[in-house]
Amino acid sequence: MAMDRETVLAAFRTATSCDAEAAAYAPGRVNIIGEHTDYNDGFVLPAAVDRGVAVAARRLPGDTFTLHAIDLGHHCSFARGALEQDPRHPWANYFKGVVWALAKRGLSFPACEAVITGDIPQGAGLSSSAAYEVATVLLLETLGGFSLPPVEIAQLAREAENGFVGVACGIMDQMASVFGQQGRALFLDCRSLARTTVALPPGLKLVVVNSGVRHSLAASSGYNERRAQCEEGVRVLSTSLPNVRALRDVEPDDLTRLLPALSPVVAKRCRHVVSENARVGQVISAMKAGDLGQLKTLLSASHFSLRDDYQVSCPELDLLVDLALAQPGCQGARLTGAGFGGCTVNLVEAPAVEAFSRSMMSAYQKRAGRPAAIHVFEPSAGARVI
């Protein structure tokens, strides 16, 4: 973990001149494959990364919470009984959302003064928001003296994002943050929440390249719009396929046969999700077999599908993928996260990482006129009380 306990507790002391009573940490995640499949009850393959968000707190009497966002230099207060979004402090909505979701379940916990800090890039598609929510659930659970099953921690964190923040995300990010494992990716069925872990092929590193194009899911109507388009696809397809409850239930052959019944845009959205679900299983098979050629083909196909059928890429992400695929030692590249900006994920042979990073930064600066940030991540353990 990049953020150790002492760093977090020292940050609390600096901000409040008091000692923290509890602290929790949750990692961000990078999704290797399975993009926009989670809210369609599908399959995903994320890995928790060794960067995340930590939250530390001390109890306060009364019903007013005080939050300090150390990295932003902002703070705010809010009353438990008056939870509403504050456009001046959008960063506080994730904490408020967790307070709201816990209260809805009748769970009792004290008001507190909390400090939030992290070392994961925000707005980069690496799930800093899910990490923040999961860490907050663990923190308030500790202060409240109750214990939730890990799956419920992930579900509560998602509920905060769906019901309070207003982003109709699936559960992948929160599950990856809770159930991450050192050195392994998480294969997750987003309907049943059944999960297994998969080792990365030996000698491959997860290299994430940040395009510098910031995205905000809540501000991006494109995300919620695509979710609605998928639901429209299910509505139409289920008239011919009565067992279809989500796009996860649609076989590629059935979709090909029924595409003419869908509007052109909805057809494209469905084609991406159905093909992407199939690719997740194919990527796991390629990883287990050590078939790097197949891995590269599948990750590229995922990106092209996100670019052309789901239309969530942008020129900068397309450029990064094109540049990466031309680099020696790169065994796959695609956009990761919701798209509309953010990052690409690249599987790169360990000896080539340094040259890959130098070459990518130089070529991207030249072609895009802006810098790219590069992070080499290790798949890491999930959220914990620190």
Please give the domain boundaries of the chain with CATH numbers for all domains.
Answer: 5-200 (3.30.230.10)
Averaged pLDDT for residues 132-161: 98
Output the pLDDT for position 220. 62
Q: Which residue has the tokens 């402090």?
A: 89
Q: How far apart are CA 227 and CA 241, in angstroms?
A: 20
Total-model pTM: 0.93
Report pLDDT digits (tens) over 171-218.
999 999 999 999 999 999 999 999 999 999 999 999 999 999 986 654
Q: How far apart are CA 223 and CA 340, in angstroms?
A: 9
**Per-residue pLDDT band at 221 (split at 50, 70, 90):** confident
Report pLDDT digits (tens) over 244-300.
999 999 999 999 999 999 999 999 999 999 999 999 999 999 999 999 999 999 999
Dihedral, CA of residue 254, residue 257, residue 261 and residue 267, to nearest 10: 70
Output the pLDDT for position 218. 45
Q: Which residues are catalytic?
A: 173
Q: How far apart are CA 323 and CA 197, in angstroms?
A: 30
Q: How far apart are CA 345 and CA 30, in angstroms?
A: 7
